[in-house]
Copies of this chain bind each other. A is one copy, B any other.
Amino acid sequence: MKRVDEIVKKLSDAGLKITPQRIAVMQSLVEAKTHPTAEETYRRVSQSIPGLSPTTVYNVLDAFVRNGIVNKVKTDAGAMRYDPVTDNHHHLYCESSDRMEDFHDPELDRLLEEYFQNKKIHGFRLKDVKLQIVGEFENSKK
């Protein structure tokens, strides 16, 4: 299975020990594409790892975030969500369905980068600009 090898390499490169729990959590995140919560991730991964502890999922996700291989994202709803896509991108978000999708747009990124290179913000060292694009998905599958 090539996919598991890639995940193992990603964990290794981040300096993390390889455990079945970590492999399964990362695999679940990558396959989900829905920016799942910790609890959703726990439910999914429990299928393949019975006896998995919810605490472990929180620990694993936190380790991933601390080591930069997963990002935390927050919406208007209750829980934190986790994003295995760490290259620069933004999010489309629908408040009524709480659905969130990736939005990659290099042209927009160039535009923003240029804008903020010229316009310095007094007293603030800018590191990153994130857009939250709020609206409605038209094919609201339900």
A-B contact pairs, 30 of them (CB 8 A): A72-B76, A74-B74, A74-B75, A74-B76, A92-B121, A92-B124, A103-B121, A108-B115, A121-B133, A121-B135, A123-B137, A123-B138, A124-B133, A124-B138, A125-B135, A125-B136, A125-B138, A126-B134, A126-B135, A127-B134, A127-B135, A127-B136, A128-B135, A129-B132, A130-B131, A130-B132, A130-B134, A131-B131, A131-B132, A132-B132
Q: Is the CB of A129 within 8 A of B126?
A: no
The 4 closest A-B pairs by CB, nearest first: A126-B135, A127-B135, A128-B134, A125-B136
- Which chain A residues have a beta carbon within 8 Å of chain B's beta carbons? 72-76, 80, 92, 103, 105, 107-108, 111, 115, 119, 121, 123-139
* CB-defined contacts of A129 to chain B, threshold 8 Å: 131-134
Q: How far is the CA of A27 from the CA of B119 in the complex (A)?
A: 33
Besides A74-B76, A111-B111, A125-B136, 5 more A-B contacts (Cβ < 8 Å) are: A105-B119, A111-B115, A125-B135, A127-B134, A127-B136
A80, A107, A119, A133 interface centre (most CB from chain B within 10 Å) = A133
* CB-defined contacts of A130 to chain B, threshold 8 Å: 131-132, 134
* CB-defined contacts of A137 to chain B, threshold 8 Å: 123-124
